[in-house]
Amino acid sequence: MISLEAAIRGRRSVRRFRDAPVSRETILGLVELAAWAPSAGNRQDWLFTAVTSAQTKRAMAEAVRRRWREICEANRASGFIAEVERYAARFADFESAPAVVVISARRPEAVQRHLLGDADAAATAGSAASAAMAAQNFMLAAGAAGLGTCCMTGALAARGELARLAGLGRKEEIVCLVTLGWPEETPAPPPRRPLEQIARFPE
């Protein structure tokens, strides 16, 4: 087992995978490690839905492309839409991955939304933050096992349709998609911002 520091520094966002499946047992092992992440109130109200069906992945990707076409057409007069389209072209790249893990969290309860409003209820409930921490565990464990992953959120413009295709219940909200497979590339490490730009110690 590689060290934690090596796992953190060695993690990469992999977008090209070998045409080889990832076994259910392997995915379950990664989910078990993911579930050791901290969670708000120790509720552990996350869900990992591993989509391996080529048909379902194709339908999910088309839903994302369709949604972004609608967004771009509705904003065609904007001067920046060409740049948005360039980014949006990558948001359905998950289709080619052997597995797409839909990581979701339970929506805040009605009483929380009533008391706080939707945005503050989501922030204080902590379910999405908990699922994001579990997603990081999942990706680090995958990297340590020689697998590649990429966390994707641009696809969530179509998260209602993605949730339907993944078979999620109405109380589940997607936090991110994580592609998973045996990597066909080893991306170079991207530069990191200097510590003095990201760490603060207020008086």
Q: Mean of the pLDDT values across residues 148-174?
A: 97
CATH number at residue 50: 3.40.109.10
Q: What domain count does the chain have?
A: 1
Whether residue 72 lies inside any domain: the answer is yes
Sheet-wide strand order for 148-152: 46-51, 99-106, 172-181, 148-152
Q: What's the confidence (pLDDT) of residue 118? A: 78
User: Looking at the predicted structure, is the pLDDT value of residue 1 above 70?
Assistant: no
Dihedral of the CA atoms 32, 33, 34, 38 (nearest 10)? 110
Q: Are 63 and 166 in contact (CB under 8 A)?
A: no
Strand partners, 101: 50, 178
Residue-level pLDDT at 83: 84
Whether residue 131 has pLDDT greater than 90? yes
In a domain, 131, yes or no: yes
Report yes or no on 196 lying in a domain. no
In-domain check, residue 42: yes
Whether 110 has a pLDDT exceeding 80, the answer reads no
pLDDT digits (tens, 9 = 90+) for 59-91: 999 999 999 999 999 888 877 888 888 888 899
Indicate if the pLDDT at residue 187 is higher than 70: yes
- Average pLDDT of every residue of the chain: 93
How much is the pLDDT for 116? 76
Residue 194 lies in a domain: no
Q: Domain residues for 138?
A: 4-185
- Number of Cβ within 10 Å of residue 139's Cβ equals 26
Tell whether 199 is covered by a domain: no
pTM given for the model: 0.92
Mean pLDDT, rounded, for 164-177: 96
Q: Is residue 53 part of a domain?
A: yes
Please state, in angstroms and rounded to a whole number, the distance separating the CA atoms of residues 169 and 127.
Answer: 15
User: Does position 114 have pLDDT exceeding 70, yes or no?
Assistant: no
Of 119 and 35, the structure prediction assigns the larger pLDDT to: 35
Kindly state whether residue 200 falls inside one of the protein's structural domains: no
107 vs 92, higher pLDDT = 92
Q: Which amino acid is at 81?
A: I
Tokens standing for residue 181: 């497979």
